[in-house]
Structure 1
């Protein structure tokens, strides 16, 4: 039952991502090169998601490390699926546009956000609010 809660708890992360994007586009994006804005936005996304995960770990702690790992895999899968759905299906852009953000060699650090999304439920349970 807790994994269902964590599947539903992923939905507010979309709102956090939108807020992060709006801040990027209106506050610092116009003043930074695109790559720097992407990198800063990725960092702030990790902080927003971490704060949310800490709060969630307090109000809905996971019962086991296995549940935490499964919740992270679930969040990762939902995030990647949503990202590709948005780019390819809704925006009508080629798949390569979405894949470009995974290119660490060119300074694109979105993949590190995905790693954080996958690890956060476990890390919160192990080290943070969900620790028993």
Structure 2
């Protein structure tokens, strides 16, 4: 739901107002922050009991499910080409979307460590 809301925000407000490049960076950072926040809320209940492997497994599951939805929906429902779908991951072209799956992967672990320290 976070990513869908972020996509709507990107297309409806950010891209028309800021241009695609700036909107891409801003929406990427907003989604990464939202994922980190949700991860902190999610792991708060069991942060002290969960081990590193479990937390990374949760992040891995979140990452796989998100990428499967993103590429499956984009390719087979919307009809985008693989090149278009992969373009947001081209860091050399200034596209930083790769931060989203990386955030999904490590967010439960980082959030648990943060919650433990508080």
TM-score (structure 2 length as normaliser) = 0.89
Residue 83 of structure 2, aligned match among 71, 89, 96: 96
- Structure 2: give runs of 5+ residues left out of the alignment: none
Equivalent residue number for residue 74 of structure 2: 87
TM-score (structure 1 length as normaliser) = 0.80
Equivalent residue number for residue 37 of structure 1: 23
**Cα distance, 1:108 vs. partner?**
0.6
**Cα distance, 1:70 vs. partner?**
1.0
Question: SS where residue 98 of structure 2 aligns?
Answer: helix
Looking at structure 2, the residues matched to 60 and 30 of structure 1 have their Cα atoms a distance apart, in angstroms, of: 42
Structure 1: which 4+ aligned runs deviate by more than 6 Å?
Answer: none
Q: Note the alpha carbon deviations across 1:37-87, whole angstroms, 9 max, x for none.
A: 011000000111111111101135462111001111111111111111011
Equivalent residue number for residue 9 of structure 2: 23
Determine if contact 1:46/1:113 at 8 Å carries over to the other structure.
Answer: yes
What RMSD, in angstroms, separates the aligned Cα atoms of the two structures?
Answer: 1.6
- Structure 1: give runs of 5+ residues left out of the alignment: 1-14
Q: Is 1:73 aligned to residue 60 of structure 2? A: yes
Q: Which has the higher contact order (CA 8 A, sep 6+)?
A: 2
Looking at structure 2, the residues matched to 50 and 64 of structure 1 have their Cα atoms a distance apart, in angstroms, of: 18
Question: SS where residue 44 of structure 2 aligns?
Answer: helix
